[in-house]
Structure formats: C-alpha cells, structure tokens
Structure 1
Amino acid sequence: MIKADVLGKASVASTKRSKLRKSLLHHAGIYLFLLPAIAFFVVFSVYPILYSFIKSFTNWPVYGSSQFVGLQNYSQVLHDPVVGTSLVNALFYMVVSVPIQVVLGLLVAIGLDRPMRGRAVFRLMYYIPVITSWVVVTLLFEYLFNTDYGIINWVLESLHITHTAIPWLADRYSALTAAAILGGWKGIGWAMMIFLAGLQGVPDELYESAAIDGAGKWQRLWSITLPMIRGSFFFVTVMLVMGSFQVFISVFILTGGAPANETQVPLVWMYQQAFTNLNFGYAGAFSWIITGIIIVLTVIQFLIFKPRGAKEA
C-alpha cells in the first residue's frame, strides 16, 4: 500500500510537470514577444529608479566615484527654503488646475454623451489640446500674457479696465495662475475622455426608472451619474494631482522659477539642481520626497473615493 501511494504521488507529480512543460512550450511565442518590452521596461524604468534611490544617499559627482553621505541630501532638501516655496506653488497649481479639468471635463463629457449631430467632431476638437505639444501651447500662452505686447493686456487696456500693462509673468501668483490655466485648458479633453468611458458604462435602465419615478435631471445626475462614475473620478483626480506635482515645461518656459525662485515648482528646481548645479544626489533625494508626497495624497484620495460598501482594512 505504501509503495502504491508513493508511485501514485510520483505519477501525479510527473503529470503536473508534463502539463507545466507543455504550457510553457505553448506560450513560448507569447513570452518571446513580451521579452523585449519587459527588458526595455527594466533597463529604462526599473533600473534608473533603483539607481536614483541608491545615489540619493551619496555625493554623486559627474566624474569619479560616489561618496556615501547617508541622509545628508534629504536633510538638505528639507531645510531648503526654495523647496518649501516649490511645494506651496505646486499645491496652488493643483488647486487651480485640477478643478478646471475635473468640472469642465465632466460637463463636456455629459454634453457629448448624448446623441447629437457632429458629436465625433466635437470630441476631437476638445481632445486636440491634449495631443498638442506642451512647448507650442506654452509659447502661445507666453505671448498672451506678455507684459508689453500680450493680447490680454491689450484687451484690458482697450476696454479701459486697466490703464497700465500688468506684468503677469513677473508676479508669483499671477504667473502660477497663468500656468495653471494653461494646464487646466490642456487637460480638459483628457478628463472628458475618461468620464465619457465611465458614462457609457452606466445602464440606461437606471435613468429610465428614475424618470418614471419623477426624478429630474439634477436628481439623476447626483443620484445615478456621479455615484456610478466614482471610479472615473478617482482615476482622474489621482492622475491630475500627480501631474500637478510634475508640472515642468509650462513653468520652465514661462518663468524658469523667476523672479528670485518665487515661481519655482518641484521639477524645475530638481532639474536646475541636477543639470545646472550638477547636484545629482540632492535632486535624487528631492525626487523621492516628491514620490512620498504623491503616495500620501493618493492614499487620501483613495479613502475619499472608496466605495461606500467597502470594508475597513
């Protein structure tokens, strides 16, 4: 009996190995096609991330070997007043740009979710800014807000609202507002597409039942539409908040952090420290601090948008 049991277990193990071997051979082609993408991801994403984390604890010169300095770079970042300014500016950018994209993106999505003539054309028109180069649209906004020959100042002076040119890009909060309006305008089409995908997953029967019960348009919006696209709200807000702390091109072109670093944002300051001052260890430490901030904000958003029926951890 014992010998039979041993032989039976060996037979089962042999059968499992045979099935596993056949499965690997059957999917070998798939793995071969995935291998270049995985290798590319590891070499150009995973390795640089791990390498920057290790180097954030070192004095990282352009030439020569790195010297381990422990938490010195992190301490330097946390005691740098420009870092505090950049984080406050990023929060200001987020507070201005994110609501523009969420609110207007949702309204446009609701409007274009209904059957109408030329709906595809309107969707394309709203999405064009998303795929337009950041450099191009930033240069356009730089022209619009220029102190001497900008269109905005020209309109304000023509309407006698102001009598002197307003230096929009020379003041901290007016420059950040211009950058935030640019980011908000450019991202409306992206938010619209995500909300459209969510809206198309809402069953029409729910709206029909609510209409039969006498629910108006606003009641259907608050009671059906918004709860049903809760997941879309979570995804959109998380991505936009992350994007707010990664704003770079618009601020870099509009102000470059001037005047006196008052309009600095994290990525511009990080870039200048790394490639202007060649302080790579500082820049690496700052990048990981920003990563931690983004993770905390993401967790907070998850708690806000957590499904109502979800159990506490």
Structure 2
Amino acid sequence: MTSLTPGMQSEPTFREKKSFKDAFKKGVRQWLKVLPFVILGFIGTSVFVIYPLVKGIIMSFQDYKIMPGQKSEWVGFAHYVDAFTDPIKSRAFFQAIKNTILNTVFTVPINWFLAVFFAVLINAKFVKYKIAFRTIYYLPIITSWIVVAYLFRFLFAAGENGIVNFMLLNVGIIDTPINWLGNYWTAMMVIWTFHIWKTVGWGIVIYLAALQGIPKSLYEAANIDGANGIQQFRFITLPMLAPVTIFIVINLIMGAFNIFPQVYFLTKGGPMGQTEVLPSLIYKQAFTSMNFGYASAMGVMMGLTIFIITYTQMRKIGKQKFL
C-alpha cells in the first residue's frame, strides 16, 4: 500500500475515469432528450411572461405611444407621482385601492369558511353521492364569466322584475325595490356575492382532497377518548389542514386582488366610478383613455404588492412547523 505525503492526491484510476466518462455521456444523452421540451418552455416563458413583465416596467416610465412611428417620451417616475398627487387620478386610484382591499377583507374569510364547511359536510359519513356534490360545487368555476354576470344582473335587476327584489317584496322584508347596481354599497355586495359564488368551489375541491389524507386512526382514537364532533374538528381536522389552509388563503388573496370580470361585466366601475378596482381601472386607463404608461405604473405597483404579500406568506410557510 503506497502512502501519500501531505498535500499529495492520488490520480484517478482507469476505472474511475471510465465511470466518469460513462456518467457524463449518459447525462448528455438525457439532456439532449429533454432539451426540446425545455427550450419550448423557456421560449414560452420568455415570450408570455418575462418580455411582457420587462416591457410593462419600461412602459411605466414612458409616455407610451401605441401608434407605430410615434416616439414614447421618457418621463421617469411621473406616472407614479401622478397616482398619488394628481387630483383626478389620485381620487380614482385611491378609490380603486379601497375597493380592492374591501373585496379582499370581505370575500377571503367568507370564501375560506364556506370552503371548509362544505368540504367537511360533503366528507361526512352520512352524506351520499359525494361525487355529485363535488361536481355541483365546482360547476361555477368552469362556467363562463359572461354567463354568470348576466345571471347576476338578472337576479339583482332594479325594479319589481328583479328576482331578488320580487322575493324580498313578497316576503315583506322591503317596501320598495332596491337599485342594487345603482348604489355603491349594494353594488359592492353584489360583486362580492358574485366573486364568492364563482370561486368557492375551488377551495371545496382542494379541501376534499386534503381531508382524504387525514388518518382515520386519529378520529378513532378521539372517539375512544370521548371527543365529540366539534372537538375532533377543532383539534384534529383544522390542525391537519393547516398547510393546505395557508395555500388556499394565499391563492384567495391573490384572486381577490385580481378581481376584474366581476366588476367589468356587472357595473363597469359604476356608479360614477365608485366600484372601480385596480384591474378594472388599469384596463380603462390603457384601452379607453389610451394612457398606457400610467396604466403600466399602476400595474407595477399592484404586482409588487401581490409579490410582497405572497413572499411574506411563503416565508411563514417555510418556517411553520405542522403536525
């Protein structure tokens, strides 16, 4: 056995060199097989994600002109400053922020509660036809936004012909018909109801899948210890669903911030722009007022807000310890 002095290293043997070459060739062959798919994914991401993102940031610093041949003047942070200082723009901007935050505050807790409630109810032993219920609750997700919007416009139509007004008048809850979409708070309530009804099925399906992963032995042990249904739900079901709950809440918050069809198809921001949210205001500034630079600036600020919220929540998930 040859001893090595300090600082000296033995040279790789012929077998080790051959093994390394074989592994390298195998890795190259594997990469060549998947390279076309990786390139397609990279091209798609570059064209539909990276380029629009970078272009939108650049546009936010320009007085962007959409017509070919026109020069887009560089204005720096002028659009960002206008969003907070310009009397007209700032009023609409802060109103949109207020409505977006209100939509998040009202819809996310209700959406989460209904998702947990119906998922646990459908998952109960005494409930039959679980697949049918799962399909019924998921149908609004795949239904067209326009179809649902017209349905809600018909349900909450002003006057006695609206179904909701007709029912409330006949029951005696109200004396005169309510102009649901003509007043700020009633219009916002209709938008929130639309949003919840359209999206709650997603959370139900996710929770139903998560409930299948909870060991039955935990509930059997709890029954032996004399725990009732409420105690089992509080000390077993909710803690075991904690990772899924954080995932669902993050997505609900992102969905609430990105609310657009609910406003555009129901109220178009009315009455008098009072129900505008950030996505609808960005759309109008870009494609109605043709103010693409200002719309891009609001989009950048909205994107940064969503990124910060998501990033902080994901950091909490990484540090969280679950049972």
Fold conserved (TM > 0.5)?
Answer: yes
Shift of 1:133: 0.7
User: Which one of 147, 157, 166 corresponds to residue 146 of structure 1?
Assistant: 157
Amino acid at match of 2:141: V
1:221 aligns with 2:250: no
1:190 aligns with 2:185: no
**Alpha-carbon deviations, 1:145-203, whole Å to 9, x = none?**
11133111111222232222211101111111101111101112100011112211211
Shift of 1:74: 1.1
| TM-score scaled by length of structure 1 | 0.90
Amino acid at match of 1:167: N
Q: Supply the distance in 2 between the matched residues of 1:307 and 1:202 (Cα, whole angstroms).
A: 22
Which deviates the most, 280-289 or 291-300?
A: 291-300
| Count of residues in correspondence between the two structures | 309
Counterpart in the other structure of 1:66:
72
Structure 1: gaps spanning 5 or more residues: none
Which deviates the most, 18-27 or 103-112?
A: 18-27
Amino acid at match of 2:52: P
User: Which one of 82, 85, 90 corresponds to residue 92 of structure 2?
Assistant: 82
Counterpart in the other structure of 1:95:
105
Shift of 1:15: 5.5
Amino acid at match of 2:57: F
Q: Percent identity?
A: 31
Q: Supply the distance in 1 between the matched residues of 2:281 and 2:321 (Cα, whole angstroms).
A: 43
**Alpha-carbon deviations, 1:245-270, whole Å to 9, x = none?**
11111111111111221111001100
- Given that 1:53 and 1:288 are in contact with CA atoms closer than 8 Å, whether structure 2 keeps it comes out as yes
SS of the residue corresponding to residue 8 of structure 1 reads: coil
Q: Supply the distance in 1 between the matched residues of 2:103 and 2:114 (Cα, whole angstroms).
A: 17
Q: Supply the distance in 2 between the matched residues of 1:232 and 1:240 (Cα, whole angstroms).
A: 12
Structure 2: gaps spanning 5 or more residues: none
Matches within 5 A, 1:21-170: 21-63=25-67, 64-79=70-85, 80-115=90-125, 116-148=127-159, 149-170=161-182
User: Which one of 221, 242, 246 corresponds to residue 209 of structure 1?
Assistant: 221
Question: Closer, same or farther in 2 for the Cα pair 1:299/1:38, shift >3 Å?
Answer: closer
**Alpha-carbon deviations, 1:74-126, whole Å to 9, x = none?**
11123311111111111221222222221111111112223443111111111
Question: Closer, same or farther in 2 for the Cα pair 1:196/1:39, shift >3 Å?
Answer: same
SS of the residue corresponding to residue 227 of structure 2 reads: coil
SS of the residue corresponding to residue 109 of structure 2 reads: helix
Q: Supply the distance in 2 between the matched residues of 1:158 and 1:214 (Cα, whole angstroms).
A: 48
SS of the residue corresponding to residue 189 of structure 2 reads: helix
Matches within 5 A, 1:201-280: 201-280=213-292
Amino acid at match of 1:55: M
SS of the residue corresponding to residue 189 of structure 1 reads: helix
Shift of 1:28: 2.2
CA RMSD of aligned residues (A): 2.5
Amino acid at match of 1:194: I
Question: Closer, same or farther in 2 for the Cα pair 1:300/1:168, shift >3 Å?
Answer: farther
Amino acid at match of 2:55: Y
Amino acid at match of 1:280: F
Q: Supply the distance in 2 between the matched residues of 1:299 and 1:6 (Cα, whole angstroms).
A: 48
**Alpha-carbon deviations, 1:252-309, whole Å to 9, x = none?**
1111111221111001100000011111111111011111222333355457767654
Amino acid at match of 1:140: L
SS of the residue corresponding to residue 41 of structure 2 reads: helix
Question: Closer, same or farther in 2 for the Cα pair 1:241/1:9, shift >3 Å?
Answer: farther
Shift of 1:41: 2.1
